[in-house]
Amino acid sequence: MKRIVIDPVTRIEGHAKISLFVGDDGRIADARFHVVEFRGFERFCVGRPFGEMPSLTARVCGICPVSHLLCSAKTGDGILGVRPPVAAVKLRRAMNLGQILQSHALSFFHLSSPDLLLGFDSAPAKRNVFGVIQAHPDLARAGIRLRQFGQDVIEKLGGRKIHPAWAVPGGVREAPGEQTCQELLAGIPEARATVRTALAFIKQYLDTHAEEVEVFGNHPSLYMALVRPTDHGWEHHDGVLRITDHTGRVVADDIDPADYRQHIAEQVEHDSYLKSPYYKPLGYPAGAYRVGPLARLNVCTAIDTPLADAELVEFRQRAGGVANSAFLYHLARAVEMLACTEWLERHLTDPEIRSTRHRAEAGVNNLEAVGCSEAPRGTLFHHYTVDEHGLLTSVNMIIATGQNNLPMNRTIAQIAQHYIRDTKAIPEGFLNRVEHGIRCYDPCLSCSTHAHGQMPLHVQLVGAGGEVIAEAKR
Amino acid sequence: MAVVTLTIDDKPVSARAGESVLDAAKEAGIEIPTLCHLPGVSEAAACRLCLVQVEGRGRLQAACVTAAAEGMVVRTQTDTLREYRRMILELLFTEGNHVCAVCVANGNCELQTLAAELGMDHVRYPYLNPARPVDVTHKQYAIDHNRCILCTRCVRTCDEIEGAHTWDVAGRGTSSHVIADMGQPWGESVTCTSCGKCVQSCPTGALFRQGSTVAEMTKDREKLGDLVTARREKKWSV
Ligand code: SF4
Ligand code: SF4
Ligand code: FES
């Protein structure tokens, strides 16, 4: 069997490579996405006081520090055995919305738009954010400002200095003043306008690119996300887990995240440092599920804000019910960006967040706790055990990208099988499509490198005996 | 009171007899870097950061324990001194495990501040990466030995100001470490009054309030000196 290797995969957050296995008939037989970096992060937290975890995790992952910060603070709430004051919860929510907004903006405008705006087969040297700036300066500028707005939300809520440990076990350290809230509210109209532009663009793209929707990871899988306990609506910070299948049937509902172990098991793969979680009752790999924007929109009943709910209805119509194509992640992110602007507005105008009570104090009351929240890329779990004094004795984290691992393999296999008919002559644009299949999931090889953008692409065709048959570099 | 006159960095300075060069310089507006010195408690001369050059004396002198003397000529800022001070700081950083980015004292740490002030932009020695414990058994406070620089300020503060003498130093060389009572967990110490003065005295993030997160541990070291002055001058009537 021959093997084609794409290493490293460009324009994703982190370092990874793709291997394409060529069967005897000369067609692609299988595909694997491997993460080639190992951080061993869970190990080196052991022995530290649990209160340090929010800042430790936020510092180690440079891509979605806020997600880890919030999830870790929530886990800390559990160790303390407290419920944070309502102001703290809403402030944390607001920050998470800022994080989702900036991350989705990055994914669309910086990482994916080169393929969509300039074309998969456009010259690789220009197929990047700079090429987009040249060809579509207004859109590119708006995208950069949108991301900036999301970052502003994070920075302004977190105090003047960007504090790695703004969210702490029990609540948050500081609450923003009236003026800060007003400043942020002032930025919402422009942000919303940009999101609408992006939405319109993606919809139009989908109308004219049925092939991509059909081929980029269009396959059944389970979906998992947090939902509000009351009405099973869209949720990103608290709530219960819901799992649905590719037909929309609810497979498991109202799961307390603390019980995740009963529902989710993790498979360790020999060729990747990414752990592959799966839904236990269905086993491995049938229990593969997807998380992130696509899953959140698939499992929820509604978003509960007028603009986003209207888009959600259209999203479902376009998908024909359940969105099973990974290509629709792009649209899902745009819908979520709209939801973020609406929910942010709601929180920032809520008098409750002005309360001066935003941190509950307590000692170690539980020796084990699980925290769960929705990172931009999907459900994130932190699970800590501590000794009676609060020193960590074990740390387990389940990250969004890991949960999408199995579906990602499936997605790239599907794309490669469709586009690569002749493994002897592979046009560069086809390999780019394979990469784009990964980019749909916007993987954060969390706790990985910070590089994205201009990495060289190295492609190798390796024969059965391991010999390099052909090699291409860009 | 007898007065002596000396020269510090070409500046004529007068000092009370027996006063340290460090204090005399300070009164004259000349800052000498220190770490183990803490107003209100005795000197330990442990950190050697306050090294100065005294004309006629071959070896470098620790300003905190060198008495000002008539006609003394002192230099506090020379290339040699700067190099030694930097070296000392680098060695302190290699000896423990200092990760400022996640440290409770980040931004409020004397070690960190000095490193920045003295231009320690990198470390030339190999890190020892010792395995050191964190003791969080005390109800209110905690000690992270990874960040302890063995300045013994806590030891002296606890002994001389609080009068409890909970802290002491055990071990030799790189295995030296501060211990509570006979080496039991801090939370089990029978002498500790939980006054928290040691926490205030500590120049780094080694001693901190439980539950503090990054950069949250600000310390009010002046309070300790004020306490001593107030007591000596009988400012409070009981
Ligand atoms: S004690 Fe000071 S030097 Fe050491 S890690 Fe903390 S801030 Fe940095
Ligand atoms: S704990 Fe702090 S005050 Fe005590 S010796 Fe260590 S660094 Fe100095
Ligand atoms: S201050 Fe003089 S030796 Fe430390």
pLDDT digits (tens, 9 = 90+) for B15-28: 998 899 999 999 99
The sheet that has A392-398: what strands, in order across it? A368-375, A378-386, A392-398
**Min Cα–Cα distance to chain B from A187, Å:** 30
Sketch the domain layout of chain A as residue ranges: 38-406
- Give the CA angle between residues B116, B122, B128 to the nearest 5°: 110
- Region A182-202: mean pLDDT is 96
Instruction: Tell me the helices (H) and strands (E) count for chain B, helix number first.
Output: 6, 10
Q: Are B144 and B134 in contact (CB under 8 A)?
A: yes
| Planar angle of CA A98, A103, A109, nearest 5 degrees | 120
Q: Tell me the ipTM for this assembly.
A: 0.76
Token pair 């599907």 is found at A414
Specify whether the CB–CB gap between A3 and A465 falls below 8 A: no
Q: Give the binding-site residues of ligand 1, using a 6 Å CB cut-off.
A: B 98-100, 103, 105-106, 109, 111-112, 147, 204-205
Chain B residues 81-100 within an 8 A CB cutoff of chain A: none
**Nearest Cα residue to A359 out of A166, A75, A84:** A84
Q: Please tell me the pTM assigned to this model.
A: 0.84
Report yes or no: A101 and A153 within 8 Å, Cβ to Cβ: yes
* CA–centroid distance for A325 within its chain: 16
Between A63 and A169, whose confidence is greater? A169
Smallest Cβ distance to B214: which of A164, A390, A391? A164
Enter the tokens of residue A233.
């609506």
B13 touches chain A (CB under 8 A): no
Distance from Cα B20 to the centre of ligand 3, integer Å: 11
User: What's the rounded mean pLDDT across residues A438-445?
Assistant: 75
Tell which CATH architecture fits domain A38-406.
Answer: Orthogonal Bundle (1.10)
Instruction: Compute the average pLDDT of residues B145-166.
Output: 96
Q: What is the DSSP-derived secondary structure letter of residue B124?
A: -
Q: Is B63 in the pocket of ligand 2 (CB under 6 A)?
A: no
- How distant is the Cα of B136 from the closest Cα of chain A, in angstroms? 6
Mean pLDDT of A446-456: 32
- Which residue among A48, A54, A363 places its CB closest to the CB of B134? A48
At position A348, the amino acid (one-letter code) is L
* Distance (Å) of CA A301 to CA A234, A295, A316: 7, 12, 11
Per DSSP, A269 falls in state: P
Ligand nearest to the Cα of B149, by number: 2
Evaluated on CA atoms A5, A8, A11, A15, the torsion sign reads positive
C-alpha separations of B2 from A191, A267, B5, B23, B24 in Å:
73, 80, 10, 16, 14
> For chain B, what are the domain ranges?
3-77, 84-209
Percent of chain B clearing pLDDT 90 (strictly above) = 82
Say if B131 is an interface residue toward chain A (CB within 8 Å). no
Helix (H, G, I), strand (E, B) or coil at B52: strand
- CATH classification number, B84-209, choose in 3.30.70.20, 3.40.630.30, 3.40.50.150, 3.40.50.300: 3.30.70.20
Q: How far apart are CA B216 and CA B231, in angstroms?
A: 30
Highest mean pLDDT among A14-28, A30-44, B117-131: B117-131
| A183 has a pLDDT exceeding 70 | yes
Task: Write out the CATH class of domain B3-77.
Answer: alpha beta
* Range 107-146 of A in CB contact (< 8 A) with B: none
Is the pLDDT reported for residue A451 higher than 70? no
Q: How close does chain B come to A104, measured CA to CA in Å?
A: 27
Q: Minimum mean pLDDT among A61-70, A446-455, B65-74: which range? A: A446-455
Which of B139, B211, B213 is opposite residue A55, by nearest beta carbon?
B213
Model confidence pLDDT, tens digit, residues A326-378: 999 999 999 999 999 999 999 999 999 888 899 998 999 999 999 999 999 99
CA of B139 to the centre of ligand 1 (A): 23
Confidence tier at A71 by pLDDT (50, 70, 90): very high
Ligand 1 centroid distance, CA of B127 (Å): 15
Report the pLDDT value the prediction gives residue A164, as an integer from 0 to 100. Answer: 60
The answer to whether the CB of B76 is under 6 A from ligand 2 is: no
